[in-house]
């Protein structure tokens, strides 16, 4: 067991965690932040993407113990005072989600893309999102949403 | 109020999903909860010779372990096949017993052997490793084509043959072929797929020892149907004391129709230990034990006249059912498949045989499209080859053979009520810029790429379905749908539907229908589904039925609300009910300016009398309250159709196929919300493209599933697609008052044939699905490339 202190969605948190606790389990089971989803356990599907010190990471293959002292943003922390983030609004406008399961990871991944590349081409958007699997949308609404958000951020 | 039906309205349900507030089964945690972990067979076929869980029982945190013996002792029934198919010889299909926990033998890798219930998941997993099962491994049969010549894997099922189904007239079809000028033949494989809803299945059993009520939270497309099956067949708990909640469900695609062993076992285990029992599938468990889809081998022949008129069709298919017969396993490759092999062509005579065989693989069942993608693949591949044989262009050959007049009684089963096939083909050709294709082909050739074009002009029978029809051909249930409209005293509306939304957007589209019908703002309408304790019994969501059947039930319930409202309004406005018009949410007395809003009428229904200023006595014989229920059973299926045109570029050096242009024109009848419909089509096409180019469930010779993770099973990803172009034509359905046809499966039904026709056009030689780079490269290098010199 190790003690970790970190900031999650702007809130300071200290907890004792097992050495082998995954960040996704820590968020979901300990902090009850169930917006972060686990779709594959193998780092392939991207439903579990969160921001760790401003970089998108797959929380299902990140150890909570390694996150001591870090800042994490999950899907629950993206909206500001109840107002959805531009990316969230764009996903709604362009029907970038259906069942909603991949959505949190997809949105977090897309937000990170625009931090790193303010004006991505369609190819750059599609390449970036290659690590996030969506079974419902065929990605068309998602790509349209990211393009739209890029014009507004 | 502006028309809601037909408007591109953003989804009401999106905000919760976008902000992380969705509530899927795995997100639910109950007080005093325990965790289940399943011991599964590592072998494809084996006898269980010894079972010893004494060590595991003593492991830390273990509460109990349940086995095949336990469920037998407690008389828990096995899993069922819900649709009985009759073979050509008049005999019923053969279904092996399918225990929820195996007692004597296992029949596929992942078959359920026992469940460990412990205080934590980690403890359950650790203890499961201590369960000692001795197996006598037997040789397994895996391949579809080898099943009938292999020894029986289930006692009493000779040749591993469940059924030998025939549809159509063999004699007359034979005559047509004997008179044919030309006969085209194809042999095709429809590859096995794994549905892969992004939310892995999950279930929580929660037995209340005080009230004797059992609640099961489960990722299901049809909670009422689950409850019926689990009460009537699995004998888990009586229906009136049993509640099933399917909360937010992360995609279904058919894989969440079945009652699975895990559902039954966690419900049963919760009763046994008196505490909640939670199970969440790991992705590898989903790969192994969710129902798989497709897996057909087919030989087809098409008879034609010298001028290219189709005169007959013969199709012979072997369908791999896997190890057992699941709920819709038998109907999927028979009645959902065979009638559809005719496509949208006027074919005078046809016959289709289907052998359903058992193998030591995961059971197959409905997967998005269920039978119809397989049928469309047969007819659209053979028609494409026939056009080539005739030297006609693909559009011209199709048009020559299209059904032109409606209603049209096909020679096998369906009576197609409406359609205009030339219209969507013409529109698609225009949108796809077909006339300039050869220029694009030349441009691609300059880059060293082989470009090909493929057509798929499809139809499907959906909106399942008329109970009288389906029950006469073996369905164990009628496929009507229910709706209940509860107008609340304060004027907002709760709508209960027996269908289930797991991505389809019912909370928005159904609210649009109700909003227009009753003149209520969309934000004041709540669509409720997914809880057997809330609304009336309903059949659930599959077969693109929610709107055509469930939506119509909602319309009918709205009509009853309006009819009652007219009676109440007549009393309040001092007129006769027949003199009351209802429009835009207002009841208006004809030839007067007297009117009441529907909100006022609802209020009156709940305050039936005079109280100070409130004067709202109900007419005699009218009961208080404003709640109406409707059960709708359609008179026919609905028949969407459309044209898909696909263009691919194949890299001759690597064999890699790239989708470069994709055009869709669909006829879905009336469209409620274009935004949602587009989403269904994009997603459907992506799954169809997945089947054609990437996805393949693969078992090795011993029956090990070698594609049981996202590292081995290729899911279509964002960078695999160009922008897909969509447009519509519209011939309203006549079998429901909305004129809707269904759009959920169309993309998946049409796309594989369009893509493969394009690939084969590009490389000039036959390639099977999925057209992976390796396969295409080998095909090119084996036969040389026809197009290489172009």
Please identify, among A19, A47, A77, the residue that sits at the C-terminal boundary of a domain. Answer: A77
Q: Chain A contact for B677, CB < 8 A? A: no
Do residue A105 and residue A49 come from a single domain? no
Question: Are the CB atoms for B204 and B217 separated by under 8 Å?
Answer: yes
CATH 3.40.640.10 fits B296-464+636-783, yes or no: no
CA distance B744 to chain A (A): 10
- Residue B465: pLDDT band with limits 50, 70, 90: confident
Q: What are phi and psi of B529, to 5 degrees?
A: -155, 170
CB of B715 within 8 Å of a chain A CB? The answer is yes
**A93 touching B (Cβ < 8 Å):** yes
Tell me the C-alpha to C-alpha distance, in Å, between residue B153 and each of B137, B160, B416: 12, 7, 41
Please list the residue range(s) of chain B that carry CATH number 3.30.365.10. 296-464+636-783, 480-632
Place of tokens 């009918």: B556
B782: burial class by Cβ within 10 Å (0-12, 13-18, 19+)? exposed
Q: Which helix (H) or strand (E) holds B235?
A: none
- Are A109 and A131 found together in one domain? yes
CA contacts within 13 A on the Cβ side of B28? 24
Distance of alpha carbon B280 from the chain centroid: 22
What architecture does CATH give domain B480-632? 2-Layer Sandwich (3.30)
Contact flag A127-B719 (C-beta cutoff 8 Å): yes
Per the structure, the complete domain to which residue A123 belongs is given by: 86-152
Domain ends where: A60, A77, A94?
A77
Nearest alpha carbon to residue A105 among A42, A44, A37: A37
A141, A149, A130: which is closest to A58 by C-alpha?
A: A130
pLDDT in tens, B194-219: 999 999 999 999 999 999 999 999 99
**Cβ-defined contact of B718 to A142 (cutoff 8 Å):** yes
CB contact under 8 A, B710 and A40: yes
User: Residue B406 burial (CB < 10 Å; 0-12/13-18/19+)?
Assistant: middle
Of A46, A77, A108, the one marking the end of a domain is A77
Q: Which pLDDT band, with edges at 50, 70 and 90, does B610 fall under?
A: confident
Beta-sheet strands, E only, within B54-123: 62-67, 105-106, 112-118
List the strands of the sheet with A71-73, edge to edge.
A11-17, A2-8, A71-73, A49-52, A55-58
Q: With contacts defined as CB-CB under 8 Å, which chain B residues touch A102?
A: 198, 250
CATH number for A133: 1.10.150.120
**Residues shown for chain B:** 790
Q: Which two tokens stand for residue B228?
A: 């019926």
The span from the CA of B473 to the CA of B128, in Å, is: 43
* One pLDDT digit (tens) per residue for chain A, 153 residues: 999 999 999 999 999 999 999 999 999 999 999 999 999 989 999 999 999 999 999 999 999 999 999 999 999 999 999 999 999 999 999 999 999 999 999 999 999 999 999 999 999 999 999 999 999 999 999 999 999 999 998
Output the pLDDT for position B787.
46
Domain with CATH 3.90.1170.50 in chain B: 14-138+198-251+256-289
In this structure, what are the phi and psi dihedrals at residue B346, rounded to the nearest 5 degrees? Answer: -85, 90
pLDDT on residue B613: 84
Nearest-Cα distance to chain B for A127, in Å, is 5
Instruction: Provide the strand spans (E) within B323-448.
Output: 350-358, 408-409, 415-416
Question: CB-based contact (8 Å) between B21 and chain A?
Answer: yes
From chain A residues 59-78, the ones with a CB under 8 A of any chain B CB are 74-76, 78
In the predicted structure, residue B790 carries a pLDDT above the cut 80: no
Q: Which residues contact B475 (CB under 8 A, 6 or more apart)?
A: B82, B83, B331, B467
**B717 token code pair:** 């990803």
Structural domain B14-138+198-251+256-289, CATH architecture: Alpha-Beta Complex (3.90)
Q: What are B281's two structure tokens?
A: 């599938």
Query: In the structure encoding, which two tokens stand for residue B404, read together?
Result: 């032109």
Beta carbons of B711 and B651 less than 8 angstroms apart? no
Q: Is the pLDDT reported for residue B414 higher than 80?
A: yes
Tokens of A41: 């356990």
Which of B198, B675, B718 lies nearest to residue A139, judging by beta carbons? Answer: B718
pLDDT, tens digit, 9 for 90 and up, residues B553-592: 999 999 999 999 999 999 999 999 999 999 999 999 999 9
- Model confidence at B135, pLDDT cuts 50, 70, 90, reads very high
d(CA B362, CA B323): 6
Distance from CA of A111 to the nearest CA of B (A): 13
Q: Which of B149, B153, B173, B183 is nearest to B355 (CA)?
A: B149
**pLDDT, position B784:** 52
| Beta-strand pair B277-280/B34-40 | parallel
| Number of domains forming the structure of chain A | 2
Q: Phi and psi of B550, rounded to 5°? A: -65, -40
Measured between CB atoms, does A28 come within 8 Å of chain B? Answer: yes
Structure-token pair, residue B398: 């199709």
How far, in Å, CA of B735 to CA of B745, rounded? 19
Interface membership of A40 toward B (CB under 8 Å): yes
**CB–CB of B223/B245 below 8 Å?**
yes
């Amino acid at each position: 067991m190790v003690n970790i202190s970190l900031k999650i969605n702007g809130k300071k948190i200290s907890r004792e965690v097992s050495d082998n606790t995954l960040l996704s389990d820590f968020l979901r089971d300990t902090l009850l932040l169930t917006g972060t989803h686990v779709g594959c356990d193998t780092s392939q599907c991207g439903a579990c993407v969160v921001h760790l010190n401003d970089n998108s990471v797959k929380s299902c293959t990140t150890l909570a113990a390694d996150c001591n002292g870090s800042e994490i943003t999950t899907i629950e922390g993206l909206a500001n005072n109840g107002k959805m983030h531009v990316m969230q609004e764009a996903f709604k406008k362009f029907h970038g989600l259906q069942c909603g399961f991949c959505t949190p990871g997809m949105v977090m991944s897309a937000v990170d893309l625009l931090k790193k590349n303010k004006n991505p081409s369609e190819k750059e958007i599609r390449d970036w999102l290659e690590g996030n699997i969506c079974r419902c949308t065929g990605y068309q609404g998602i790509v349209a949403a990211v393009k739209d958000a890029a014009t507004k951020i | 109020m502006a028309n809601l039906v037909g408007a591109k309205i953003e989804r009401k349900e999106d905000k919760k999903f976008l902000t992380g507030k969705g509530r899927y089964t795995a997100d639910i945690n109950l007080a005093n909860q325990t965790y289940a972990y399943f011991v599964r067979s590592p072998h494809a076929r084996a006898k269980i010779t010894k079972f010893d869980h004494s060590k595991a029982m003593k492991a830390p945190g273990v509460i109990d372990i349940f086995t095949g013996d336990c469920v037998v002792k407690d008389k828990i029934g096995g899993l069922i096949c819900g649709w009985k198919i009759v073979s050509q010889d008049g005999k019923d299909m053969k279904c092996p017993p399918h225990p929820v926990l195996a007692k004597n033998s296992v029949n596929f890798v992942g078959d359920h052997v026992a469940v460990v219930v412990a205080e934590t998941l980690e403890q359950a997993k650790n203890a499961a490793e201590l369960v000692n099962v001795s197996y006598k491994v037997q040789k397994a049969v895996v391949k579809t084509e080898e099943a009938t010549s292999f020894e029986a894997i289930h006692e009493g099922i000779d040749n591993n043959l469940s059924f030998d189904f025939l549809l159509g007239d063999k004699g007359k079809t034979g005559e047509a072929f004997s008179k044919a000028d030309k006969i085209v033949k194809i042999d095709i494989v429809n590859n096995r797929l794994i549905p892969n809803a992004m939310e892995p299945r999950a279930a929580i059993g929660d037995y209340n020892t005080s009230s004797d009520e059992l609640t099961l939270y489960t990722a299901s497309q049809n909670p009422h149907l689950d409850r019926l099956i689990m009460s009537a067949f699995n004998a888990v708990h009586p229906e009136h004391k049993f509640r099933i909640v399917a909360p937010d469900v992360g995609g279904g695609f058919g894989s969440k129709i079945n009652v699975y062993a895990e559902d039954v076992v966690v419900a049963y285990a919760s009763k046994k230990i008196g505490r909640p029992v939670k199970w969440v599938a790991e992705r590898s468990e989903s790969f192994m034990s969710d129902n798989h889809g497709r897996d057909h081998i087919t030989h087809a022949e098409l008879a034609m006249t010298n001028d290219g008129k189709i005169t007959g069709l013969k199709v012979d298919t072997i369908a791999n059912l896997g190890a057992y017969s699941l709920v819709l396993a038998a109907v999927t490759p028979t009645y959902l498949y065979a009638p559809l092999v005719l496509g949208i062509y006027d074919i005078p005579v046809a016959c289709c045989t289907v052998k359903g065989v058992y193998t030591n693989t995961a059971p197959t069942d409905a997967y998005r499209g269920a039978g119809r993608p397989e049928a469309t693949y047969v007819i659209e591949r053979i028609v494409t080859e026939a056009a080539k044989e005739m030297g006609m262009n693909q559009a011209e050959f199709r048009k020559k053979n299209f059904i032109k007049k409606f209603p049209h009684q096909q020679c096998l089963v369906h009576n197609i009520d409406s359609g205009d096939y030339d219209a969507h083909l013409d529109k698609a050709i225009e949108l796809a810029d077909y006339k300039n294709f050869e220029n694009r082909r030349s441009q691609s050739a300059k880059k060293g790429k082989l470009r090909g074009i493929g057509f798929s002009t499809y139809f499907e029978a959906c909106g399942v379905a008329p109970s009288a029809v389906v029950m006469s051909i073996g369905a164990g249930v009628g496929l009507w749908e229910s709706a209940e409209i509860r107008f609340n005293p304060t004027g907002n509306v709760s709508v209960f539907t027996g269908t289930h939304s797991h991505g389809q957007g019912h909370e928005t589209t159904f609210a649009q229908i109700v909003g227009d019908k009753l003149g209520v703002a969309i934000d004041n309408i709540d669509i409720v589904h997914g809880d057997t304790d809330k609304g009336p019994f309903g059949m659930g969501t599959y077969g693109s039925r929610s709107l055509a059947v469930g939506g119509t039930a909602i319309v009918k319930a709205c009509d009853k609300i309006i009819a009652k409202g007219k009676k109440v309004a007549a009393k309040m406005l001092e007129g006769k009910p027949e003199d009351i018009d209802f429009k835009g949410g207002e009841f208006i007395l004809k030839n007067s300016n007297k009117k009441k809003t529907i909100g006022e009428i609802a209020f009156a229904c709940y305050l039936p009398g005079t109280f100070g200023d409130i004067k709202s006595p109900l007419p005699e014989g009218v009961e208080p309250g404003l709640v109406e229920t409707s059960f709708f059973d359609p008179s026919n299926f609905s028949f969407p159709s459309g044209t898909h045109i696909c263009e691919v570029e194949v890299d001759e050096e690597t064999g890699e196929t790239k989708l470069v242009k994709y055009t869709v024109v669909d006829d879905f009848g009336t469209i409620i919300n274009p935004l949602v419909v587009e989403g269904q089509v994009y997603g459907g096409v992506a799954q169809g493209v997945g089947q054609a180019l990437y996805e393949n469930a693969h078992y090795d010779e011993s029956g090990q599933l070698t594609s049981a993770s996202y590292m081995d099973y290729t899911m279509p990803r964002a960078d695999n697609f160009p922008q897909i172009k969509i447009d519509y034509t519209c011939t309203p359905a006549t079998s429901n008052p909305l004129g809707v046809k269904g759009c959920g499966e169309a993309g998946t039904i049409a796309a594989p044939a369009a893509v493969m026709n394009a690939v084969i056009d590009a490389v000039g030689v036959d390639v099977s699905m999925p057209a992976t780079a390796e396969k295409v490269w080998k095909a090119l290098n084996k036969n040389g490339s026809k197009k290489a010199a172009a």
